Structure 1
Amino acid sequence: MTDSTIIYTHTDEAPALATYSFLPVVQAYASTAGVQVETRDISLAGRIIASFPERLEEGQRIEDALAELGELAKTPGANIIKLPNISASIPQLKAAIAELQAQGYALPDYPDDPQTDEDKDVRARYDKVKGSAVNPVLREGNSDRRAPGSVKNYAKTHPHRMGAWSADSKTNVATMGENDFRSTEKSTVIAADGALRIELVAEDGTTTVLREKVPVLAGEVVDASVMRVAALREFLAAQVARAKAEDVLFSVHLKATMMKVSDPIVFGHVVRAFFPQTFAKYGEVLVAAGLSPNDGLGTILNGLDNVPHLGAEIKASFEAELADGPALAMVDSDKGITNLHVPSDVIVDASMPAMIRTSGHMWGPDGNEADTLAVLPDSSYSGVYQAVIEDCRAHGAFDPATMGSVPNVGLMAQKAEEYGSHDKTFEIAAAGTVRLVDAEGNVVLEQAVQPGDIFRACQTKDLPIQDWVKLAVTRARATGDPAVFWLDESRAHDAVLIEKVKAYLPQHDTTGLQIEIKSPVEATKFSLERIRRGENAISVTGNVLRDYLTDLFPILELGTSAKMLSVVPLMAGGGLFETGAGGSAPKHVQQLVKENYLRWDSLGEFFALAASFEHLAQSTGNARAKVLADTLDRATGTFLNEDKSPSRRLGGIDNRGSHFYLAMYWAQELAKQTEDAELAQAFAGLAKALTEQEQTIVAELVAVQGSPVELGGYYQPDPAKAAAVMRPSATFNEALADLG
C-alpha cells in the first residue's frame, strides 16, 4: 500500500452488492491518476471467518481486515471509504454462522449458555463480532456529517412527501426518567494513567471480578450507570396499559444492534411485559427450550414447533395476549411481523424519524397508519423526539422546500461514550455493589445493584474531546452558522463535558462566532425554530446523539439519511469517509434475489469518493486526484438534476443504471475539464462511447429485470455470481475496460 492508495471496504447486503457494480468504475477512473483502490473485507461473514483461523482449511482463512484497518486509521496516510455494515444482532449472527457452515466452513455454533472454557472462548470471539464491532475500531477521529449543497438544493426543488400532522395527534414518547441509565449516572475525570477493575461485591461479601482491567488515561471521563430492572418492568407494564387506554399503537424503539449487550436485554423485558401471562405460565419451559425473549417474539414462535406437547398451547397463549393487548406497531403487517418480532428490526435512530415524517404514525396490524406510543425506556435522549413531536403537533409538518439544515459534529473517536460500553456492560447476577476500583484499591465509582439490573460503564478520552471542540469551531468558522453543544448540566456525564468544553474553547479563535451550550431538549427547540425559518444550526453532540440526529434531520430534510456527506478527520491526519447512514438495506437484497432489481442508492458512495480524492490530493500533492474530485462533484450534481437515482419500480434504472449514468457524467466532465489536457484526452473516448451507447447500455441493464437471481449466499455471496448479476451490460463493461 502506498500514499496514493484508497481502501474501499467490502461490507454487507445491499452496499456490498452495489460495490460489485461501482468499484470497477472507481478503480478504472482512479488508475488514471496513479491512485490504487484496494478492498478490505470487513463484512459480518468476513469478521466471523477471520475469528477462527485454526478451525478452517488454509484456502478458507482470511486476515483480520478490521484489525488491520484499525491500525491504519491511526496513521497519517489512512484514506478509507467505509460503507454501511450489519451491526449484527444475535439472530443475524446465528444466521450468518449457519450460512457459512453450509458453505463448508467448520465454524462452531454460537453458545447461548457457555459452560466449558472452549465454549467461553468461542462466545468471546463471536461477541467481538456482533453489534457495532466495526465503527468503534475505525473511528479514530470525530464526525463531520452534513448534507452536500447539491443534495440540499435538489431536496428543495424536488421536495419529498411529508405526512400531515394533526393538532390532536395522540402520538407521544414514553420514557422512564428515573432508575434508568441517565438518572443513575455517575461521572468522574481520571487523574492519572492506569487501569480500573470492575467488580461486583455481593451482599454476602463475595467479590466477583466482572472485568479485570480497563485501561484509562489521565483526563478521560469515566461513567457508571445502572438500569434498575424492577423499575423497568413496572414502567413497561404501565406503557402497555397506557397504549391500550389511549387507543394508540404500542411500539418500542431501541438500538439492539449497536448497544449489543444492554438493549437486547431491555428488548427481552419489553416482550415479557407485553405477554405477562404467557411468560408467567410458560417462562421456564421456554428457557428450557432455549427460546429467549431477548431474541424476539419471532424466534420464540418459530421455535415452538420443537417444544414437545406444549408448543401449540404456548402459541395460543401468545395469540390470546396479542389480541387482548393494545394494537402493536408492525414492521410488516402483511406478513404479521410485529414491532417485537426481531430486536434489530426497529432501530430508534431510523424508526423515530420515519414515524415523525409519517404524521406521527406507524403501521398497525390492520394495515393502516395510526397514532403511536413510542417507548424509549432510557431517558437520555428521548426528550429530543418528544420535542420534535410537540413542534409538529403545534406547527404542522416541516417543508423540505424551505427548511434549513442541522449538520452535526459528533464526539465519537476512540470508542467515546455509550457506544464503547459493550465490554463494560453486565446483567447483574446478585444484589450488592458494582465498583470501579483503581490499582491502589480506591473506589472510583460505584452503583448499588439488584439481580437482573443492567450495569454500564463508559469511557471518553480527553484528546477526542479536545479534537471535538476544535472541529466544532472549525465548522462554525467555515459556515458562519451557530454551533450548539447539546449538553445537559443536570446529567452527570454532560456536566463534566461542559467543564471541559469551557476549558478548551478559549484555546481557539471564536471571535464573531455564535457558540452555545444547551440541553438536548432546548437545543432541539432552538434548531427547529431555525430550520423552520430556513436557517441552519450546527449540532455538536456526543456519540449516540450524533447517530440519532444524523438520521432525524436528514430524513426530515432530504427524505433519507443515506445522502449525507460523512467525513471523519482522523486525529493522526488521515481520513475516513463514510457513505451515509442508510443502513445495509436487507429488503433491497430480497428484491434483487426475487426480481433482479436493486434499489440501493449509491449517492453516499459518490460523495465519500469525492471527499476521499480531495483528501488524497491535499495530503500527497496529487493534482490529478483533485481533478477527479472536482469533476466527480460536478457529475454528481448533474446526476441529481437529471434524477438518475434508482427508480421505484421495475422497468426503470436501478442501482446499476445509476452507476452507469454517474460514470457517463463523470467521463464527460473529465473530457471537457481544462486543468489537465492529457487526462481530458484519456477520457475523451470513454465519454464519447458512453454517450453514444447510452440507450444500448440502459436497455441491457433493464433487460435482465424481472427474474430471480442466485447469489450463492446472503451474508457471503459467491463473488463470481454477484459480479455477473451486478455487471450485466457487456457494452458498458467493454467501454470501461478500454479506458486508457
Structure 2
Amino acid sequence: MAKIIYTHTDEAPLLATYSLLPIIQAYAAKAGVEVETRDISVAARILAQFGLADDALGELGQLATTPEANIIKLPNISASIPQLKAAIAELQGKGYDIPDYPEHPTTDEERDARAKYDTVKGSAVNPVLREGNSDRRAPASVKNYAKAHPHRMGAWSADSKTNVATMGERDFFANEKSVVIPADDTLTIKLVGADGTETVLKDGLKVLAGEVVDATFMDVAALRRFLTEQVARAKAEGVLFSAHLKATMMKVSDPIIFGHVVQAFFPTLFEQYGEQIKAAGLSPNDGLGALLSAVEKLPEGEAIKAAVQQGLADGPALAMVDSDKGITNLHVPSDVIIDASMPAMIRTSGHMWGPDGEEHDTLAVIPDSSYAGVYQTVLDDCRANGAFDPSTMGSVPNVGLMAKAAEEYGSHDKTFEIPAAGTVQVLNSAGEVLLSHDVQPGDIWRACQTKDAPIRDWVKLAVSRARATGSPAVFWLDENRAHDANLIAKVKEYLPEHDTEGLTIEIMAPAAACAYSLERIRKGEDTISVTGNVLRDYNTDLFPILELGTSAKMLSVVPLMNGGGLFETGAGGSAPKHVQQLVKENYLRWDSLGEFFALVPSLELYAEQAGTPGAKVLAAALDRATETFLNEDKSPTRRVGGIDNRGSHFYLALYWAEELANQTEDAELAAAFKPLAEKLRAAEETIVAELNSVQGSPVDIGGYYQPDDAKAEAVMRPSATLNEALASF
C-alpha cells in the first residue's frame, strides 16, 4: 500500500515537525493520502542498536530499494563523537540501559558497544537512504523571490588578505591510486609491517564488475609540517587562523586531522602536558572545548588551562564560533563544517569573527587539496570583481553522484589511522595486489568505492537535466586525480548512450569548472554542476548560500534507481543554534520551506503510486500556496516579536486551504476545504496573537536529543484556535 514516510529527525527540523506534521496529515487525509513517520534521530539510532527501539533506518533502507519508496527526509544529526557522547548521556539520564562510548575498548563487551556506536556516527543515515543520485536546485519561486528581495552581501576589497591554505602534496589528492574492477570479486585490505607481520584491516569487501576502487593516504608528518607553517603564516599576515573540515560526514579521517590542527596551534601545551592529557583519556580530536571541560579534574588542570591561554596569546588570532562565549574555531570538531562555513565567510566580505567580536580577513586552512581550489577560485573572483549581486546572478544547480555510498562518504569503514610503518595493500581474491602505499605510524589511509550502475545513472541524470533546462552541464572532474581519471573514461563511454545533440556538456577540473560557472553567474546565466559526492555537498551549500542566503530553500529530489523517490529538505547546519534560541526564549527561527518544497513532488509521486488524483491536486495547490507564502514574506523572522516557525506554518496552512478551496479540478476537495479556509482566514488575527504571545520566556522540551513528545508538542502548538480548527476539520 502506498504511503508517504515523513522522517522524525533531530534538533530544529524535529521541533518544526511537531507543528507542521499535524497540518500535513490533516490535509493529506482529506485526499486519501497516508502519511506515516519513522524515527531516524540519533537517539533512536542509538537505541535501535541495543534493541530498545525499532530499527527504522534499516526499514527505510530496504524500502529505498523498491518502487514503493516515497520518503521525505529531513536533516538529521551526522553525529560527531562529542555529539554521540552527549546523546548517550541524555538517554542514560532518561533511564535507558546503554553503555558509555568506549574510547579505547579492551573487552569483547566494550568492542561490541564500540562497533554498535560506530554505526551511528557521521553520515550513517544518508548512504542507507540514498539509493539514487541527487538532483538539487532552487525552485523558480525561490529564485524569483531572492532576486526581488536580495539578501545582504558583504562588500569585498581588492586588497583582502583572505585566502585558502592547502597541502597540495603528500595529501589524499596527491597520493590517490585507482583501479576499475574487471569482474565481481572480494577484496582484502591488509597492512604488511616493516617487520614482516601482516594485519588484516578489512576483509570480505565485495565489489562488482566495473566498480571504481580508490586508495590514498594523508602523510601525517607532512600534515603536521603544513599546519605549523600555516599557524606561523596567519600570525605573520595578521589574519585570523581557521580550520575547515567535515568531522561529521568524514567521521574517521577528519576528527583525526582536526586533532592535529589543535596540536599544531598549541605546540607548547602538548609538549608539556601531552602525556598527562593522553593518560586521562582525553583526545585533541574531540576539540579544545572537551579538553578544557575535562581538565578541571586533573591535578595539572590549572596549569593546562594556563597553557591554553598562553597558546592563544602566542599564536595568531583564532577565528571564533561565538566570540561572546569564547568558543573558538577549534573548540568542537563539528562546529565548523566546511560546506557551511566557507560560503558564510565568502558572503561576509571574506571575513570571519575574531576574539574581539569584529570581522577580519582569514586564512582558511583546508588540508586536503582535492577541492580546496574551488574556494580559492571564489575568493579570487570576489577580490577581482566584488561581491555577487543576488538580484541578477545566475544559478548553479547540481547533479550529484551519491547512490550506493559512492565516493569519499562511503569510505568510513575503510579508513584507518596506521599503527605501524609498512605497506597497506588492497588485494583481490586471487591474492594479487591492486593498490598499495608505503605508510608511517599515524598516517590516515582510506579506500573508497564507486559502483558502475550509479555512475551510469549519474550521466543519464545530467543529460536529462541539461535537456530539461537548456543549461550547460559541467562534470567537475580532474584528469590529474586518479579517481577522476577513471570517472572521465566512464563519462565518455556513457554519454553516447544519450541524445546530447544541441546540448553543452563539458568536463573540467573543479577549480576551472568553478571559474566557468562564476563567469556565467555574473552574467545571470545558469550552469549545472555535475559532481561527485563530496563536491555535491559543497556546491549545494556554496552556490545557494550566495544566491539565496541559505541552502535550506532548495528542492532536493533523489530519483531512486529502482523506482520511487527520496525527497530531501535542505541543510540543517544552523539547527543547534535554533534549538538553543527556542529553549531560551520560545522562538524557533527554523525555516520549513525545504519541507514545503519536498512535499510537492512527494505528493505527485503518491498520485502515481496509489492512483489517487486528489494527491496531485494537493501538490498543485501547495505549490501555489508556497509561492504566495514567499510573496507575502511569511518566513520566520530572526528575532522575538515577529512570526517564527509556528507562525509560518499557520500561513502555509491558510494559503494551502484557500488554494484547495478555490481550485476547480476536484469539487469534493474544494467543498471540504472551503469551511476550513474561511475559519482560518477569519481567525488569522487571533491565531497569530496566540502564537506570538508565548515568545520571550524559557521553555522545557524535555531533552535535546530525545525531546519529550508531550512537552515539545505543547511548545510547538500553542494556538488553541488553530489546534481546534485542525481537530474539527
Query: Which bin holds the TM-score, normalised by the shorter protein?
Result: over 0.9
User: 1:218 is matched by which residue type in structure 2?
Assistant: A
Give the 3-state SS of the residue equivalent to 1:110 in structure 2. Answer: coil
Q: Does residue 1:207 correspond to 2:198, yes or no?
A: yes
Residue 717 of structure 2: aligned partner = 727
Task: Give the conservation status (yes or no) of the 8 Å contact 1:327–1:364.
Answer: yes
Give the 3-state SS of the residue equivalent to 2:311 in structure 1. Answer: helix
**What is the aligned counterpart of 2:490 among 489, 494, 500?**
500
Residue 673 of structure 2: aligned partner = 683
Residue 523 of structure 1: aligned partner = 513
For residue 567 of structure 1, report the CA deviation from its aligned partner: 0.5
User: 1:642 is matched by which residue type in structure 2?
Assistant: E
Give the 3-state SS of the residue equivalent to 2:480 in structure 1. Answer: coil
**What is the aligned counterpart of 1:623 among 613, 619, 622?**
613
Task: Give the conservation status (yes or no) of the 8 Å contact 2:13–2:572.
Answer: no
Residue 529 of structure 2: aligned partner = 539
Higher mean Cα deviation, 142-151 or 579-588?
Answer: 579-588
Residue 474 of structure 1: aligned partner = 464
Residue 16 of structure 1: aligned partner = 14
Q: Does residue 1:148 correspond to 2:148, yes or no?
A: no
For residue 117 of structure 1, report the CA deviation from its aligned partner: 1.1
**What is the aligned counterpart of 1:174 among 140, 165, 179?**
165
**What is the aligned counterpart of 2:96 among 105, 115, 120?**
105
State, as a whole percentage, how many aligned pairs show the same letter.
76
Residues 572-583 of structure 1: pairs in structure 2 closer than 5 A = 572-583=562-573
For residue 584 of structure 1, report the CA deviation from its aligned partner: 5.8
Residues 53-72 of structure 1: pairs in structure 2 closer than 5 A = 53=51, 61-72=52-63
Q: Does residue 1:132 correspond to 2:123, yes or no?
A: yes
Give the 3-state SS of the residue equivalent to 1:335 in structure 2. Answer: coil
Q: Partners of 1:105 and 1:339 in 2: how far apart?
A: 33
User: 2:652 is matched by which residue type in structure 1?
Assistant: L
For residue 706 of structure 1, report the CA deviation from its aligned partner: 1.1
User: 2:351 is matched by which residue type in structure 1?
Assistant: H
User: 1:42 is matched by which residue type in structure 2?
Assistant: I
Residues 274-293 of structure 1: pairs in structure 2 closer than 5 A = 274-293=265-284
Residue 38 of structure 2: aligned partner = 40
TM-score (norm 1): 0.98
Give the 3 Å change call, closer, same or farther, for CA 332–241 of structure 1 in structure 2.
Answer: same
| Cα displacement string for residues 155-185 of structure 1 (whole angstroms, at most 9, x for unaligned residues) | 0000000000000000000000010001100
Give the 3-state SS of the residue equivalent to 1:38 in structure 2. Answer: strand
User: 2:362 is matched by which residue type in structure 1?
Assistant: T
Residue 374 of structure 2: aligned partner = 384
Task: Give the conservation status (yes or no) of the 8 Å contact 1:140–1:413.
Answer: yes
TM-score (norm 2): 1.00
Q: Unaligned stretches of 5+ in structure 1?
A: 54-60
Q: Does residue 1:457 correspond to 2:447, yes or no?
A: yes
Residue 85 of structure 1: aligned partner = 76
Task: Give the conservation status (yes or no) of the 8 Å contact 2:477–2:507.
Answer: yes
Q: Partners of 1:168 and 1:582 in 2: how far apart?
A: 34
**What is the aligned counterpart of 2:438 among 435, 442, 448?**
448
| Cα displacement string for residues 52-78 of structure 1 (whole angstroms, at most 9, x for unaligned residues) | 02xxxxxxx311000000000000010
Residues 708-723 of structure 1: pairs in structure 2 closer than 5 A = 708-723=698-713
Task: Report how many aligned residue pairs link the two structures.
Answer: 729
Q: Partners of 1:267 and 1:286 in 2: how far apart?
A: 16
Residue 57 of structure 1: aligned partner = none
Residue 25 of structure 1: aligned partner = 23
Give the 3-state SS of the residue equivalent to 2:705 in structure 1. Answer: coil
Residue 107 of structure 2: aligned partner = 116
For residue 618 of structure 1, report the CA deviation from its aligned partner: 3.0
Give the 3-state SS of the residue equivalent to 2:368 in structure 1. Answer: coil
Q: Does residue 1:483 correspond to 2:481, yes or no?
A: no
**What is the aligned counterpart of 1:219 among 210, 223, 241?**
210
Task: Give the conservation status (yes or no) of the 8 Å contact 2:242–2:318.
Answer: yes
Residue 220 of structure 2: aligned partner = 229
Task: Give the conservation status (yes or no) of the 8 Å contact 1:27–1:36.
Answer: yes
**What is the aligned counterpart of 2:365 among 375, 388, 407?**
375
Q: Does residue 1:435 correspond to 2:425, yes or no?
A: yes
For residue 137 of structure 1, report the CA deviation from its aligned partner: 0.5
Higher mean Cα deviation, 615-624 or 203-212?
Answer: 615-624
Query: Hey, which bits of structure 1, 4+ residues long, moved more than 4 A?
Result: none
Residue 261 of structure 1: aligned partner = 252
Give the 3-state SS of the residue equivalent to 2:445 in structure 1. Answer: strand
User: 2:48 is matched by which residue type in structure 1?
Assistant: A
**What is the aligned counterpart of 2:4 among 3, 6, 12?**
6
Residue 183 of structure 2: aligned partner = 192
User: 1:192 is matched by which residue type in structure 2?
Assistant: A
Q: Partners of 1:404 and 1:555 in 2: how far apart?
A: 13
User: 1:601 is matched by which residue type in structure 2?
Assistant: D
Q: Partners of 1:688 and 1:599 in 2: how far apart?
A: 28
Q: Partners of 1:237 and 1:213 in 2: how far apart?
A: 39
Task: Give the conservation status (yes or no) of the 8 Å contact 2:76–2:572.
Answer: no
Task: Give the conservation status (yes or no) of the 8 Å contact 1:409–1:468.
Answer: yes
Task: Give the conservation status (yes or no) of the 8 Å contact 1:260–1:422.
Answer: yes
| Cα displacement string for residues 331-379 of structure 1 (whole angstroms, at most 9, x for unaligned residues) | 0000000000000000000000000000000000000000000000000
User: 1:31 is matched by which residue type in structure 2?
Assistant: A
Task: Give the conservation status (yes or no) of the 8 Å contact 1:410–1:468.
Answer: yes
Give the 3-state SS of the residue equivalent to 1:400 in structure 2. Answer: coil
Q: Does residue 1:550 correspond to 2:540, yes or no?
A: yes
Q: Partners of 1:519 and 1:318 in 2: how far apart?
A: 41
Q: Unaligned stretches of 5+ in structure 2?
A: none
| Cα displacement string for residues 499-548 of structure 1 (whole angstroms, at most 9, x for unaligned residues) | 00000000001111000101101100100000100000000000000000
Residue 599 of structure 2: aligned partner = 609
For residue 621 of structure 1, report the CA deviation from its aligned partner: 3.0
Give the 3-state SS of the residue equivalent to 2:17 in structure 1. Answer: helix
For residue 213 of structure 1, report the CA deviation from its aligned partner: 1.6
Residue 340 of structure 1: aligned partner = 330
Give the 3-state SS of the residue equivalent to 1:131 in structure 2. Answer: coil
Residue 56 of structure 1: aligned partner = none
Task: Give the conservation status (yes or no) of the 8 Å contact 1:85–1:584.
Answer: no
Q: Does residue 1:351 correspond to 2:330, yes or no?
A: no
For residue 651 of structure 1, report the CA deviation from its aligned partner: 1.5
Q: Partners of 2:25 and 2:93 in 1: how far apart?
A: 33
Q: Partners of 1:571 and 1:687 in 2: how far apart?
A: 39
User: 1:24 is matched by which residue type in structure 2?
Assistant: P
Task: Give the conservation status (yes or no) of the 8 Å contact 1:15–1:584.
Answer: no
Q: Partners of 1:674 and 1:584 in 2: how far apart?
A: 40
For residue 583 of structure 1, report the CA deviation from its aligned partner: 2.9
**What is the aligned counterpart of 1:600 among 560, 573, 590?**
590
Residue 558 of structure 2: aligned partner = 568
User: 2:448 is matched by which residue type in structure 1?
Assistant: C
Q: Partners of 2:643 and 2:203 in 1: how far apart?
A: 55
Task: Give the conservation status (yes or no) of the 8 Å contact 2:181–2:211.
Answer: yes
Q: Partners of 1:274 and 1:649 in 2: how far apart?
A: 36
For residue 220 of structure 1, report the CA deviation from its aligned partner: 0.5
For residue 620 of structure 1, report the CA deviation from its aligned partner: 3.4
| Cα displacement string for residues 182-214 of structure 1 (whole angstroms, at most 9, x for unaligned residues) | 110000000111211110000100000111221
User: 1:159 is matched by which residue type in structure 2?
Assistant: P
Q: Partners of 1:35 and 1:570 in 2: how far apart?
A: 21
Residue 239 of structure 2: aligned partner = 248
Q: Does residue 1:692 correspond to 2:682, yes or no?
A: yes
Q: Partners of 2:521 and 2:304 in 1: how far apart?
A: 51
Q: Does residue 1:74 correspond to 2:65, yes or no?
A: yes
User: 1:420 is matched by which residue type in structure 2?
Assistant: G
Residue 58 of structure 1: aligned partner = none
